[in-house]
Chains A and B, each alone.
Chain A
């Protein structure tokens, strides 16, 4: 009897072991439309705006020159500074009326000029805006801004110049802002010469060419060699074990539903119900007044805190906690009912160190951080940022 029992026991063990060991499938299959991959090695330029070294140099000078702002104290670089990952490190940007850089930037006279209403997006890899999960994009129709109100970098780059709180101030009207800035540029010999060299003709200083030059420079701000890029190109050692686990969690938890493609964005607007930023003084209703905001890229996310369209989340851990609260059915913005949230928003994520580690693998710090020593206007480089 004991022999029989022992035999039965060991037979059960063998059967049990065999069954357990044979339980395996073929791994995690990533939906082709929600895949994540390496960034392309090169950038596509619009056919009517090919990059040349001279054009990029002109664009860079304009980018750092506060001559483009009404009070001559704000440049593109004021809020898109290389030391801050081409962002500003603030929840809401301070454009006109501000001084200082990053966290030390303040209004000189608080309450006079409002905050710019949305968090500064990084310009790193903005050249790839609109790229889909299959790696296809068109720079002419590339979506810009959190509410997708502009297409192409050429079009986007002119809008802050005419925006009251960003660069214009009350020196010009919105309608005359661009023409007024162009008149200033025409009065500077270096710009006259540079525009003539780059675009040809004596009437080269136009709004269109201004946008083209700035866009040409912005297309050089590329970081396509993050650990994740190297890993997806076949270097297994490029990411740590924790980052690889985080990558699986990222896919498995449905983050790629919206954060897809090489830029980790579907470039569509979604309603997440992020709480309003009280600094703003009003509720930002987003695209079409539906509280929808474009999915931001996760590229270089380690450099671009705080997060969300209004900078409400200070850290990546805060962002994951936000998704946990959404998952748990909390209404975080009193103006957005839970039933209004995007149907794609089915987060299963939760605060996980591996997920955060993975997002750090999307950061490539090897971008152009050089700042010109002077700009053609002779004004302080970058504006009033000291």
Chain B
């Protein structure tokens, strides 16, 4: 059910962006991702991912609305590997020529594989969850088509009456087609 919901969300986002094709910009991002909670929860360390972004400049051209779909994988630190599909939509403000700041909201679909090998027993389980997310980012553009971005991704995972937060930081390189 969660998977279906996620696919539907992506479909809606893609279909909504199509009619405005004339003014749209397409950017591809390569992300290096770090679990910012390493001192607190070191199940994950580093990950990497890709995002495809479509953005539409607003009237002032200093700002734009964007929508992103992407994939991230946290490589195995010890027991856990995570494959993540993400959907994010937000607003980006371009200050002068180079610097930008963005905020976004979205959701991430996490498929986490846990493997623990005891001497007598091996545990191999997969957990799947859809986590609401919020992002705050800073960017720097150079040579008009290239970008460097730093983004903080906050994820909320409701659990037994609590709302634990997962915090990931992405350092990204982007290229606008």
Once A30-B116, A236-B125 are accepted as A-B contacts, the answer to whether A20 and B75 lie under 8 Å apart by CB is yes
Within 8 A of B (CB), among A23-45: 23-30, 32, 35-37
* Contacting pair A21 B73 (CB below 8 A): yes
**Is B125 in contact with A232, judged by CB distance below 8 angstroms?**
no
Q: Any chain B CB within 8 A of the CB of A251?
A: yes
Within 8 A of A (CB), among B1-44: 28, 30, 39-43
- Cβ-neighbour of B75 out of A23, A253, A351 (below 8 A): A23
Interface size grouping (class) on chain B: 35 or more
Q: Are B42 and A35 in contact (CB under 8 A)?
A: no
Contact yes or no, A9 B40, CB < 8 A: no
Binary flags per residue of B34-56, CB closer than 8 Å to A gives 1, else 0 = 00000111110001111000000
A192 at the binding interface (Cβ < 8 Å)? no
The answer, among A9, A35, A244, for a CB contact under 8 Å with B175, is: A9
CB contact list, B95-148 vs A, under 8 A: 114-122, 124-125, 127
Task: Say yes or no: is B59 at the interface (Cβ < 8 Å to chain A).
Answer: no
Total residues of chain A contacting the partner, CB 8 A: 41
Specify which of A12, A35, A352 lies most central, judged by the most chain B CB atoms within 10 Å of its CB. A352
Contact of A28 among B115, B119, B125, B177 (CB under 8 A): B115
CB pair B76–A251 under 8 Å, yes or no, is: no
Interface residues of A in 278-301 (CB under 8 A from B): none
Contact of B118 among A20, A37, A352 (CB under 8 A): A37
Report Cα–Cα, A28/B115, bound state, in Å.
6
Cα distance, A353 to B78, chains bound together (Å)? 19
| A344 contacts the other chain (CB 8 A) | no
Whether A37 contacts B42 in the complex (CB less than 8 A), given A20-B73, A244-B114, comes out as no
Residue numbers in B under 8 Å from A21 (CB-CB): 73
Report the bound CA distance from A29 to B125 in whole Å: 15
A30 contacts B41, CB within 8 Å? no
Give bound CA distance, A155 to B76, whole Å: 49
- In the complex, A25→B45 CA distance in Å? 14
Instruction: Closest A residue to B47 by CB, please name it.
Output: A20
Cα distance, A301 to B48, chains bound together (Å): 39
A20-B73, A24-B76, A28-B79 given as contacts; is B42 within 8 A of A252 (CB)? yes
- Please report the C-alpha to C-alpha distance between residue A96 and residue B80 in the assembled complex, in whole angstroms: 52
A352 and B81 contact, CB distance less than 8 A = no
Inter-chain contacts of A247 with B (CB < 8 A) = 116
A240 touches B80 (CB 8 A): no
Min distance, Cβ B107 to any Cβ of chain A, angstroms: 18
B17 to chain A, nearest CB (A): 20
**B75 and A27 form a contact (CB under 8 A):** no
A interface residue numbers (CB < 8 A to B)? 6, 9, 12-13, 16-17, 20-21, 23-30, 32, 35-37, 232, 234, 236, 240-242, 244-245, 247-249, 251-253, 348, 350-354, 357
Lowest 4 CB-CB distances: which A-B pairs, in order?
A27-B115, A28-B79, A23-B75, A28-B78
Q: 24 A-B contacts, Cβ less than 8 Å apart? A: A9-B177, A12-B30, A13-B28, A13-B50, A16-B30, A17-B50, A17-B71, A20-B49, A20-B73, A24-B76, A28-B78, A28-B115, A28-B116, A30-B116, A30-B117, A232-B118, A234-B121, A241-B127, A242-B160, A248-B114, A251-B116, A252-B42, A350-B40, A353-B162
5 extra A-B contacts, CB within 8 A, seeds A28-B115, A241-B159, A244-B127: A20-B48, A26-B117, A28-B78, A242-B160, A354-B164
